[in-house]
Chain A
Amino acid sequence: DTAVSQTPKYLVTQMGNDKSIKCEQNLGHDTMYWYKQDSKKFLKIMFSYNNKELIINETVPNRFSPKSPDKAHLNLHINSLELGDSAVYFCASSSPGGLTDTQYFGPGTRLTVL
């Protein structure tokens, strides 16, 4: 059983194009995240949604727009792709409770912008 899934796994596109990455979790979690991992493996949070409401937005260009149709899905749409957007994008989910949140990550989407 896949807990957090992402599609596609690989995405190769030209500069200026618009693309979307989809994420779904079947863990029943309330909170979902998007992270960007650069070529040096640094993992940085981009967005977080709790029950379809945006709660974290970390100085990400407005070309990136997350959309959460329901609490099990969080999609990432990217407009006017740039070379610097090339990275691995991870979706994650967690269930806030107690002191803090343990996050469960998807397998990642490797985006290459040519």
Chain B
Amino acid sequence: EDQVTQSPEALRLQEGESSSLNCSYTVSGLRGLFWYRQDPGKGPEFLFTLYSAGEEKEKERLKATLTKKESFLHITAPKPEDSATYLCAVQGGSYIPTFGRGTSLIVHP
């Protein structure tokens, strides 16, 4: 069974204080690892898909990286508008998407 564990569960940062969110996974035949952002009362919003170890993707202040066992979402100089829950998900050979429980990020001005 595919598993995804995200840490920390919650993270408080000051504006401009860079940090990283972790997503550890076990999957049979990784087809893709996804990062989503979810704001309160809304559906998850797609950020990145990573397909193979060593791959990196960037979008504004966010950078996602992937190894064979984990992915990191690096947030550089965050702003209050980056506050949200960040979800990690994997899709393996079964094609069934498996989500982690998310990291709730709060960025204080």
Contact = CB atoms under 8 A, between A and B. Distances in A.
Interface of A: 4, 33, 40-45, 55-56, 58, 90, 92, 99-108
Given A41-B102, A45-B97, A99 B85 contact: no
Given A92-B43, A99-B32, A108-B42, 8 more contacts: A42-B101, A43-B89, A45-B96, A56-B96, A99-B51, A103-B34, A107-B43, A108-B41
5 contacts: A90-B43, A92-B43, A99-B31, A100-B51, A107-B43
A86 to B, nearest CB: 16
Contacts, number: 54
A10 B45 CA distance: 20
B52 to A, nearest CB: 9
A99 B31 CA distance: 6
A101 B89 CA distance: 11
Interface of B: 31-32, 34, 36, 38, 41-46, 49, 51, 85, 87, 89, 91, 95-99, 101-102
Nearest to B44: A105
Given A58-B96, A105-B43, A100 B91 contact: yes
B97 to A, nearest CB: 6
